[in-house]
Amino acid sequence: MSTDLVGELLAAGALPAGHAPAFRAAPRERFVPDRIWYRHQDADIAVDRTAEPEHWLSAVDSDRALVTQFDDGATAWPQVGRVPTSSASMPSVVAGMLRALEPAPGRAVLEVGTGTGWNAALLAELVGPSGHVSTVEIDPAAAARAAALLGGFPQVSVLSGDAAEELPGGRFDRLIATAGLRRLPHSWVQRVVPGGVIVAPMRADMASGPLVRFVVGADGVARGRAVPDLQVAFMDLRAQRTPALDLRGLRWDDESADRSHTDLAPWVPLLADDHRWPVAVALPGCRSQVWPATGQRPGVAWLVDPGSGSWASVVADGSRYAVRQSGPRRLWDLAESAYREWQARGAPPMSAWEWVVTPQRQTVRLPGE
């Protein structure tokens, strides 16, 4: 990573001054593959370092995420695949996650999601020769590439495997995940010493969530709050992926569904991330989709629970909105109730929510619930 970008991150307050030497000692360009994609004006741009070295370096030295794999490797460069499945995160996000993690010399750190290996190299610089970094990567090719690049860091061990099923031996002072989680596995919590810290991007079935900083208690329970002022978006942990929402066989105007009306525009709680979060928490297992209006039909807001077969559709109907619901879960009723309760409490920000992970369950709640 260029000195200019390090300086920009320092000036913006994104990079702690004490971490700057690590970012200079382990530059990003040493770990990013020669062939990458980056997002520019709603398009994915493919860049080959050999053919366009200056273009490649400009992308690497920018504060942007770089996609290194689509569709678990099934899509070959330069084709753009359906779903990004591996990337080099934005440097500002990497810096913010390391700030929240607080690695220090002599610490033992577990990383879930090695990716390019850059974050493991930064961790190695921060924990120093007396510390240790264990990093787990599910993709064998990515793990092998990262292990080769990390050969100059003797305090780093790379494990090729699924962190949802296996972890390196021992206990750790810190754990950092670079994949989105719907649930923080308690098996991970058990591997962190009391007083230790876990930093992980948390989400729900219906919405992306925040980066959460957990502290593990002496009782083995992890309690966490969102890291303020840091927006993150990570690919899902493979073991927690959900299939794409399939609306085939459903009709928004199904006459057999129960009908009612609402004054709440469905786009308000379903399109904006900060508004969707309380609905997502209240409707585990549920998915949403919004269809724009066409010449053949109105705009439709969908809520679907694949597990129970329940669904709801909401469309404009004059000055109000027509609601259709089917199945054992009254999805729109639950969604509207959760949203209005959140509003009645003053629309608390994401940082107000608390995560609690016990051996039995994970809860997400607002104080006082």
Taking only the tens of pLDDT, the chain with its 369 residues reads 666 889 999 998 999 999 999 999 999 999 999 999 999 988 999 999 999 999 999 999 999 999 999 999 999 999 999 999 999 999 999 999 999 999 999 999 999 999 999 999 999 999 999 999 999 999 999 999 999 999 999 999 999 999 999 899 999 999 999 999 999 999 999 999 999 999 999 999 998 889 999 999 999 999 999 998 887 888 899 999 888 888 989 999 999 999 999 999 999 898 877 789 999 999 999 999 999 999 989 999 999 999 999 999 999 999 999 999 999 999 999 999 999 999 999 999 999 999 999 999 999 999 877
Instruction: Residue 105: count other Cβ atoms within 10 Å of its Cβ.
Output: 10
- pLDDT for 3 equals 66
Structure pTM? 0.93
Domain 258-344 has CATH 3.30.160: no
Burial (CB count within 10 angstroms: exposed 0-12, middle 13-18, buried 19+), residue 292:
exposed
CB 329 within 8 A of CB 342: no
Which segments of the chain belong to CATH 3.30.310? 258-344
DSSP state of 62: S
Output b/e per residue, 152-184; b: 16+ Cβ within 10 A.
ebebbbbbbeebbeebbeeebbbbbbbbbbbeb
The tens digit of pLDDT for each residue in 9-47 reads 999 899 999 999 999 999 999 999 999 999 998 899 999
Q: Which positions are catalytic?
A: 87
CATH of 3-238, one of 3.40.50.9100, 3.40.50.150, 1.10.30.50, 3.40.50.620: 3.40.50.150
Which segments of the chain belong to CATH 3.40.50.150? 3-238
Quickly count helices (H) and strands (E) in the chain: 10, 18
Phi first, then psi, for residue 106 (nearest 5°) are: 90, -5
- pLDDT for 137 equals 96
Distance linking the first and last C-alpha atoms of the chain: 45
How far is it, in rounded angstroms, from Cα 66 to Cα 62? 10
Q: Which residue has the tokens 């525009």?
A: 265
> Smallest Cα–Cα separation from 266: which of 345, 344, 325, 335?
335
Helix (H, G, I), strand (E, B) or coil at 321: strand
